Amino acid sequence: MGVPVDLTSYAELAVLLVNLGDEGRNIDVLRGLLDETGRTEAAARLTRRDLDALSELREELTGVFEAASAGDEAEVVERLNGLLVRHPVHPQISGHDGQPWHLHLTEGGRVADTLAVGSVMGLASVVTGLGADRLGMCQATPCRNAYLDTSSNRSRRYCSERCASRANVAAYRARRRGA
């Protein structure tokens, strides 16, 4: 990890990983995602051997968002606790590339391990700091993208503006049909 620990950015990474879907099996797509989010060192170290572990992680994270979307907070916590056991944090103080001392959640190991530890800790920190209802899945069927609801009134229901307007159009047409 070339950046200081920022758990919110890791929670956002969890969302991005979930939303890759099957594209997440493509190493170039994954590398692009890591590069775009400033994880250039992880992008450079990513290998095909990480792909299976990351696909498994994506499914596990999807399960967390689905449970949250269904309003099942006990299930969210149970799933996250299981993930925390499987992807333990081994914090180390690190300094590199001219950066001040900062914490790494885990040192060495595969990129898949680093991303797993980070995204699970990120989601755990959102759930404990803000609430399990901050995790959701897009309500504009058939979209099943995950999102983090950072709105002040917890009103988010869609992954994107695009899905929100698509849902609005669909609702408008349904009303017209009904009228």
Interacting residues toward Zn ion by CB under 5 A: 1, 94, 138, 140, 143, 145, 159, 163
Closest to Zn ion by CB, 140 vs 148, is 140
Dig out the tokens for 21 from the structure. 């879907």
Q: In the bound complex, what is the minimum distance in angstroms from residue 7's beta carbon to Zn ion? A: 14
Contacts of 134 (CB under 8 A, 6+ apart): 68, 126, 127, 148, 149, 150, 154
Q: In the bound complex, what is the minimum distance in angstroms from residue 52's beta carbon to Zn ion? A: 26
CB distance 126 to 135 below 8 Å: yes
Q: In the bound complex, what is the minimum distance in angstroms from residue 45's beta carbon to Zn ion? A: 13
Q: In the bound complex, what is the minimum distance in angstroms from residue 94's beta carbon to Zn ion? A: 5
Closest to Zn ion by CB, 16 vs 143, is 143
Closest to Zn ion by CB, 25 vs 166, is 166
- DSSP E strands in the chain: the ranges are 92-94, 102-104, 135-137, 146-148
Q: In the bound complex, what is the minimum distance in angstroms from residue 21's beta carbon to Zn ion? A: 12
Closest to Zn ion by CB, 1 vs 132, is 1
CB distance 135 to 79 below 8 Å: no
- DSSP E strands in 56-150: the ranges are 92-94, 102-104, 135-137, 146-148
Closest to Zn ion by CB, 47 vs 99, is 99
**Amino acid letter, residue 144:** R
Q: In the bound complex, what is the minimum distance in angstroms from residue 162's beta carbon to Zn ion? A: 7
CA distances from 155 to 7, 10, 73, 149, 164 (A): 22, 22, 17, 8, 12
Residue (of 56, 60, 66) closest to 132 by Cα position? 66
Closest to Zn ion by CB, 25 vs 157, is 157
